[in-house]
Amino acid sequence: MDAPCSECIKGTAHKGEPLGTEEVVHGLNTYVIGNRASPKGIIVVYSDVFGLPLPNNKLIADAYARSGEWLVYLPDFFQGDPVPLKIADILIPVDATKQPTLSKYTGILANAPTFIRWLSRHKVGPTNVCLDFLQAWEQAYQAAKVGSTFLLARICC
């Protein structure tokens, strides 16, 4: 697995309630939203390191689906083991103006061991789950209509 990009540890907490549903798709818990009847195509969104628990990821999937043309899938590639949200609260607090700089850095230092253990669990081998998921899509949808579109989107919130 590549090292997380610097944008994966920056950002803001998005406002709103996700509108999709979670269901098992090709063996993975997956957030699904959009046009199921006759989509223009399918979008598979790769989340940031905070995975499904961070509402930002679902809200971005909702934004892709908003036009009504797309069926959007946000798989839990971390299989229930994203970076803990307590780390997200330190890195992207709801109100950064109320978080003293010293508090931010002591929080990062205090949670560094948790993050390092998480990184050790998500090396290249275990992340083959992404490729397995996409290969399952390819097999399941080979007979899909000509002209359909399949897009991948990697996001950092």
**Can you say whether the dihedral through the CA atoms of 139, 140, 141, 143 is positive or negative?**
positive
Q: Is the pLDDT of residue 145 over 90?
A: no
The string of pLDDT tens digits covering residues 58-101 is: 999 999 999 999 999 999 988 999 988 777 666 666 566 666 67
Distance (Å, rounded) from C-alpha 147 to C-alpha 140? 16
**Prediction pTM value:** 0.73
Quote the pLDDT of residue 12.
Answer: 63
Confidence bin at 117 (pLDDT 50/70/90): confident
Where are the domains positioned within the chain? 6-154
